Amino acid sequence: MTKIEFFEKFEDDVKSVQTFSRHNNFDNYTKAKNYARQGYTLDGYNEETGEYRFVKLENLELGLEKEGRLHYAITPPNYWEPVYELKLLVMFPYFYQLKDSATSARERYFGNGSIFPNLKNSVSRNTYILEIADSNLMSGSFFMNTPTYPDYISDVQKLIEKVYTDLGVERERVVLCGSSRGGTAALIHALIGGYPAVCNEPLLSIAYEYNNDFFLVRDDIPFDLTDYVRSLFEQNPSDKPITLLSSSNNAMTWSTYHGLDNPRLKLIDIRMNLDGLAGNQKHQKLTVRDNPYFYANMNKALESFNATYVTVKSEQLSQENFVFSMPMSTPHFDFNKEKEALVIACLPSETQGTDAGFVLREPFLEQVTYEIEVSVDTNQALKFELNNQLGASETLAFEVVAQVGNSYIQKAKIRPFANWFFLTLSSNDFEVGQKLIMNHFKIVEKDETQQSSSENFDFERPVTGAAWEVVPSDSLISYLLKDDSANHRLHFELSESIKKQKSQFEVSLSVKSSADVTDFGLLRFNGVSVKRSTQQNLIAGEVVTMTMVINLAALPATAIGISSYNVPIGTQIDIVDVSIRLLEGYAR
């Protein structure tokens, strides 16, 4: 026949697809099988006329997206977190119960709505879901080739590839899943395509349906698929894991898995009390609705893309020779102890996050001067970052000072502007495959003498103009106002190590004026932009401290400063002290 669709009445009509069961009416059954082999499917029933509608599969519409003869739906991630990569879960449908509404092709091929309605709320974050309808024969063909659709397997493979490519998902982050018929399809297509899969109670034998043939697949696909699946394992070698869930209490399925002895396969026995139920009833208990074991292993497969099992090493570094404890290996660095040395190997890795962290045994304290010495088998100057893993950091840069045998002595001196508890090392500073042997990393000198933190400001480059003149004094620096014809500002550049932070700092400026000044202002500069952050009255000869907070995470700042506003001409302003302190709770 060449008609796109036609309508027909049948004897012994029960107003559902069971009208065509072998036991109801064999002639009806034979007719329906013949129509299916001519490329037609049942899609609808007219209650008024008692006629069934048959339509060519090429012209079938299911209310889903369509690619050739394939029908599918894509559900975007219900939970989105940009720190994780995108993933794709390909879900194949199980056989649905043959209710009156099963005259609908969509229900037989795909389900009435979605394969697993609650799946989008239960699946791993950043996961797209691709659901594919089994649109072949009268009720599907387990997504296998048939004479009426000889390219079915190839088309499904092409669709999966098209979808993950269009969505920007890497092939390595695709998982195939399904229950019952869907589990069989997931198993077959994972083996053919080289994907990981989670298969819940896959049907490798449809012998239980052979006599009744409610799904009208008898003689169109093999009733025992064990040998076929075993051959796919042999023909398509891969290391992608296949997880198969079933129950040893259901002989209808469990006994068919005997030949699947492949290292890729992990068979899970779900212990359930299924006594007193027939095989197909046991099967339904394991497959319908939302099987928690199925969901758990599905998510485990998806999350495995972002997680690996790690063995924590027991070795410890000498406290005498290392200021930090034994670091944990990362995808970019492998750390090992050989004799008393720390061996650092830079690894090839495509994962994000290039830093390795070192926990300091004692924190590096603010306003304490440290001289640190490293003995290492390279003349490449090392660089670490001191931080608290909150975004703000301070560079600890070493320079080579001597060579002793095969080792190089490198030293660094630092006076931290905050209390630091961690060191980090970036793989961006090393070549892949590079290996370092570090003999020690220790503090050789520590000066706890309290000093001003004025080194965090650049007094060599104050912007004074012609109005301010630098004059000698015992203070950090002193300025004399020579011109009060306009509002003249001067400012001190923040050091580069401060300006690059994305954190909040408290800045304190202590000044002494030779004259009384009303509303003397403390300013914050961002390039040419300026803002008066705080102001205070000055009394001649007295030291006054003004404080402000600069939030570099919200608004960059380049300098702090003062203004000539209300300052009498001839007044000397002494900068007695200036300090800056990281507000830890606001670090980013």
In tens, the pLDDT along 528-582 reads: 577 788 888 999 999 999 998 888 777 777 778 888 888 999 999 998 888 888 8
The CATH number that applies at residue 178 is 3.40.50.1820
119-123, 141-145, 387-391: range with highest mean pLDDT: 141-145
Q: Span 224-229, mean pLDDT? A: 90
Please give the residue that has the higher pLDDT: either 56 or 393: 56
C-alpha to C-alpha distance for 243 and 240, rounded to whole angstroms:
10
Query: 471: domain CATH number?
Result: 2.60.120.260
508 and 426 inside one domain: no
Per-residue pLDDT at 587 exceeds 50: no
Q: 495 and 569: one domain? A: yes
Q: Is there a domain that residue 192 lies in?
A: yes
Q: Assess whether 376 and 236 both reside in one domain.
A: no
CA distances from 548 to 398, 532, 553 (A): 33, 10, 15
Span 427-431, average pLDDT: 86
Question: Do 298 and 175 touch, CB atoms closer than 8 A?
Answer: yes
Q: Give domain status of residue 398, yes or no.
A: yes
d(CA 180, CA 204): 9
**Interatomic CA distance for residues 200 and 193, integer angstroms:** 19
Question: For residue 55, is it within any domain?
Answer: no
Supply the DSSP string of 497-529, one letter for each residue. Answer: HHHT--SEEEEEEEEEESS-EEEEEEEEEETTE
**Host domain of residue 401:** 333-447
Q: Where do we find the tokens 């912007």?
A: 463
Provide the CB-side half-sphere exposure for 98 (13 A, CA).
Answer: 15
Token pair 């700092």 is found at 505
Cα–Cα distance between 71 and 119 in angstroms, integer? Answer: 19
453: pLDDT strictly greater than 60: no
Residues 561, 568 contacting (CB under 8 angstroms):
no
The Cα–Cα gap between 347 and 344 comes to: 10
Q: How far is CA 319 from CA 305, 324, 362, 441, in A?
A: 37, 8, 11, 10
Residue 117 pairs in a beta bridge with none
- Mark whether 431 and 468 lie in a shared domain: no
Lowest mean pLDDT of 138-142, 165-169, 257-261, 433-437, name the range.
257-261
175: how many CB neighbours lie within 10 A of its CB?
28
pLDDT at 588 over 50: no
Q: Are residues 458 and 428 in the same domain?
A: no
What are the pLDDT digits (tens) for 245-274? 998 988 888 899 988 888 899 999 988 888
Q: Which residue has the tokens 């395509």?
A: 193
Q: What percent of the chain has pLDDT over 70?
A: 92
Residues 419 and 462 in one domain: no
The pLDDT value recorded for residue 479 is 86
Answer whether residue 112 shows pLDDT above 80: no
Amino acid at 464: T
Q: Is residue 4 part of a domain?
A: no
Write out pLDDT tens, residues 334-376: 999 999 999 999 998 766 567 899 999 999 998 789 999 999 9
Whose structure tokens read 């080289």? 194
Determine the residue type at 539: I
CB atoms within 10 A of CB 252: 18
What gap in Å lies between CA 462 and CA 561, rounded to an integer? 9
Instruction: Report the amino acid identity of residue 435.
Output: K
Are the C-beta atoms of residues 163 and 86 closer than 8 Å to each other?
no
Residue 454: its pLDDT value, please? Answer: 56
Is there a single domain that holds both residue 405 and residue 500? Answer: no
Q: Is 53 part of a structural domain of the chain?
A: no
3-state secondary structure of 371: strand
pLDDT of residue 484 exceeding 90? no
Report residue 579 as tokens: 């300090």
Same domain assignment for residues 128 and 224? yes
Tokens of 28: 């009806």
Which residue, 396, 417, 447, sits at the end of a domain? 447
β-strands 5-8, 51-56 pairing: antiparallel
Q: Which of 447, 469, 490 is the last residue of a domain?
A: 447
312 Cβ neighbours under 8 A, 6+ residues apart: 328
pLDDT above 90 (res 312): no
* Confidence class for position 461, pLDDT limits 50, 70, 90: very low
Assess whether 428 and 466 both reside in one domain: no
Same domain, 417 and 462: no
> Which among 403, 431, 447 is the end of a domain?
447
Gap between the Cα atoms of 155 and 484, Å rounded: 83
For 54-86, the pLDDT digits (tens) are 999 999 999 999 999 999 999 999 888 888 899
Residue 464 pLDDT exceeds 60:
no
d(CA 475, CA 499): 25
Query: Can you spell out the DSSP letters for 154-179?
Result: HHHHHHHHHHHHHHT--GGGEEEEEE
Q: Give 100's DSSP letter.
A: G
In the structure encoding, which two tokens stand for residue 432, read together? 């892949």
* CATH number, domain with residue 423: 2.60.120.430
Within this chain, do residues 228 and 135 fall inside the same structural domain, yes or no? yes
* pLDDT at 303 exceeding the cut of 50: yes
Is 30 within a domain?
A: no
Average model confidence (pLDDT) across the chain: 87
Q: What are the residues facing 469 on neighbouring strands?
A: 480
Residue 322 lies in a domain: no
- DSSP-derived letter for residue 479 is E
Residue 147 has pLDDT above 70, yes or no: yes
Q: Verify that 415 and 461 share a domain, yes or no.
A: no
3-state class of 149 per DSSP?
strand
Q: Which amino acid belongs to residue 428?
A: N
Flag whether 399 is in a domain.
yes
Helix H or strand E encompassing 109: helix 105-109
For the chain, the domain total comes to: 3
